[in-house]
Structure 1
Amino acid sequence: MEAVHGFTPPHNPKCSCKTCFSNRLDLEYQNKRLQAYEQTTSIEYIRATFERPFRAAVDHCADLKKASESTNVHRKRYADLYKGMCSILQKMMKSQEVNINNFLDVQETINHEPHILRKLLEQENMEVITHFKMQHWLSQRWEASFADYFSLVRWLILCLAWFFPPMFSVFGAFELDFAKALRVRWNSHLSSHFCFFILLLLRLFWDERGTSLRAARFNDTFVVELTLGLFVMSHLIILMVRLSHRGIKSFMKDWWNWVEMCIVINGINFFVASSNIALQNQNALPMNVNRRHIPSTDHVYMCEFSLSLMILLMVVRFAYFVQMTYRFGRLIVAVSQCAKEYLRSLLVLFIFFMGYAFAIYGVLHPFATKPEDRRHDLTKNNGFQVYTDDFLDTAANLYWNLLSLVDEGYGQIHAGFTGPNQTPVQPFLSILFSKFLMVSFYVFIVVALLNVILTLMIMQAESYKTMGDENWAFARTRIIIDYFNYEMAAPPPFTCIILLLTTIRMITTLVKRILRTRKMRFKN
């Protein structure tokens, strides 16, 4: 018995030991998978899939051959390229001994033709067909090294779009002028949307092949790491501002500052540990393994523990706020008003996320996962699937592009080509479960933003406490209304609705005021 895909055969076919029995089962399973794979990669399938692009490649090579003969430059190399293409096309049309890897290599070469031909012209005595794979690997490594830096910039823009509004709200809380604070908040809304749409444009139009957007190091868990890091940084800024306002002695006397410093130090520790674990696991992988789909168990545990730590911090901070209201105001009024605003914000977030889940999973998803109905032409757009049929195809295309902003593993097809506009072949239930995991990442970000909002409320409560306001329990309602900005915890696409409603409300208020003044003038 021969080994299939690296599985060792049993020592003896009749042996019944545990190792041989396990190897025998693995071998049978791999043989079944190999048979199913051979059925899908038959000569008819290859002909139907690769005939048109290969004929186009042969015609293009013939044009290159004629151009080289007319100019008498690199005649032999273009002739070898034309000869190799013709021989592979003849094998595909006549012979039954066809290896699909050869066609995939040459198809990748066609997609990266200018880069490959430029490298072919720089080297001497190269056999074109045998070195296609090595040249393609070199081009991929060059693009991956550039994609690492571009992906870092892309994630920074994404986090800037997420964290501009809450950070502006924190710094705007120190302003006594409410109009100025609201103006800063409005500008932060616009800046977050500007960053988000710039990011979307870069994602869609950076490279038609989509390879420069596929980074090897920055996966979906990097969002969680960066969220935790920005959460820790925001609390460090708050602690530094509090230290500068109060002084060292009063800062050290407050027990809550010690608790928050311990939590921030632990957050830094877990952030560094999870990043190191992720980098070690990714660097240990071989070169031909897709690193985006190899999650680290320790890394997941670290992120879950950090999330539980942030939720605990939010609960303790809420209890501290209630304790302050009990000491400096009426308990029933303070707790009821605070709980009302807090639950209202959570309800708004719940409606946002449930609407998002229903719109994506129930409406767009059935139309986005029908690759058999989207027969794409490999001669157009460098071999990538582009939806141009109707409105539903456009919506599906936008859906997968938006989803690939968060998880770059989506948008891949199993035939060997990757691109931003392709649909993965996955069942509905498995894709729903994976989207549920992605929503958990959103929950992680929302919890971090709610922590920042609670910190803002506590800082305002402490400022009222130091001023010695007797009616603090009633003045606290103004704090929550003016600064409890639950809208900022929603993702940037959903805050578009809030911006639109706010603009409509402002316009209607202005129109009502104008009509009221005209009516009063008419009466007078």
Structure 2
Amino acid sequence: MSGRSLEATEKTFLEAAERGDKHTIERCLLAPRSVNVNCTDLLGRSALQIAVDNENVELVEILLQQPDIKIGDALLHAITEGVLRIVELLIDHPSISASMLASGWSRSRPSTEESSDFSPDISPVILAAHCNQFEILQLFLARGAYIDKPHPLNCFCRQCEESKQSDSLRYSLKRIHTYKALASPAWLSLTSHDPILSAFKLSWELERLAELENEFKDIYMELSSQCKRYSCELLDQCRSSEEVIAVLNRRCSSSSPPEPALYDEAPHSERLSLDRLKLALKYDQKQFVAHPHCQQLLTSIWYEGFPIWRRRSGFSKVLLCLAIITAMPLLAATYLLFPRTRLGKLIRSPFMKFIYHSASFGCFLILLVLASTRTEGSEMYRQNTRGPAPSMIEWLILFWVSGMVWSECKQLWEEGLKAYVRQWWNWLDFIMLSLYLCTFSLRAVAYLQININKELPRSQWPNNDPTLIAEGVFAVANVFSFARIIYLFQTNPHLGPLQISLGCMIIDIAKFLFIFFLVLTSFACGLNQLYWYYDSNTEHCKQRPNGQMECQSNSDAFTTLDVTFATLFWSLFGISSPKSTELVDAHPFVEFVGQGLFMAYHVLSIIVLINMLIAMMSNSFQVIEASGKSILF
């Protein structure tokens, strides 16, 4: 109560409500001196709220018969307690309309009666979703209650602008409470025709909101994780492979009719579309993809035709792979002639395709090694030949690259541009193949256009000679080609986490390089400004006691900005002289400042930044190891 003490009858009335004394309550409510049914105790609780907290249904029925009873927070407390019967009694009261169960709840109560237990934007239906009360939430939905999805964060409608200007914190909290209700398992289960897809989309949206609203990032990320756990828990309910297939084959459009006849007639590879699994990859649902049910089905598809592969020993697996690789030309010819036979279907299985592609790429790497190896005899003339004719190995490399380009074009056509660009390994393949195509183009230009001075010592070649540029581009392409071996780690349960950790570490390295570049630029500008006055071309000579002249010059380590950058970078690896800050001129103050900046740069770069990078990379590796994100793909 505010500002006054309880009367004796009110105190008796509230104590009877606490004890559940129905007869005393009825006596206190009798005329002519009936007690105020809406009186509250020192904690601000009315008799109705006390009865709700004690889950006393009979007492609630008696109190609701009073004409001037105020429901107040009693309905919200009943939802929190989860007593369906009491909730039904309260919402059946004439003072509670259908709109008050949803957005009309805050508008129905004046600001002077704002609750101390619940936020004003917490409506009954939102609270029921927060508490995950299935039966109560279903009751509200039957009465027409609904939760309006918040507007986008960049919305400039009148309602959003007024809410932001009046109280930005309340506006943000209202959005959080609404999303918390939308992400509850009860709401997703009762309102969505496709709860797994709804959980995917909501999880993706919450992660985007976490990036935009950094102040509430942890809350949004927790809600996103809740949606991911919900989809995994639904997958937990599958009891057979057919149910898992039905879930993973589910399309976005419910109008697509199922095809049960295929389930008993066709093998896995032909009856599985895995549309839902592809959506999980699109929305970055790693927990769903890594679910044991999902992985078990993918493993059975992967080793289709080799049911006993996983029970074989490591030595027998190696022998079998070598036998498959050796027979690859024969199997390829068989598949071209008889693609519909049982052997043709076996060759078309995912595991066999992986073996063939890996073996083909291994042969491609062997060709690169042979092309990069210097041999005596017939190949020696090429080092002084501008635009030499391609050798047999180079023709084979061109053949392999053409096949890989065709494969990437097929993948781009089947997946679409957005899905293709979303995969980082496709970027690596695109860069690698682009470099090879550039190399072949430059070699063709050099072979066709250079007719004068074709045989010329390499030291006399022009700087922009196409052959020189082609060799440089080819060297970079070789680096990308051998780095692509890491892509094969994904199929190994031990090397897979290492490959994922490497990707996360690359992100850490990018963050580190940004900070390091700022530090490097600041010291480079300072040292260059300090030393550019001292010309390194001017010699200072003095005569020794024996009569000989000794000439010295200043170091050129910091004379220009680009040289200063190179000096500071290589000094991290010890490839610079500590005497580079010394001057021939007698200017000890300049030397003191230069040495101080040089030492401060090494302390900041080596002791602070390098150790920070090590800590970041160690943390990323531990997170990947703890989460166990070893996915088959």
TM-score, normalised via structure 1 length: 0.31
Q: Structure 2 length normalisation: TM-score?
A: 0.26
Identify the structure with bigger relative contact order (alpha carbons < 8 Å, sequence gap 6+): 1
Q: Report which of the two structures shows the higher radius of gyration computed on alpha carbons.
A: 2
Q: Which has the higher helix share?
A: 1
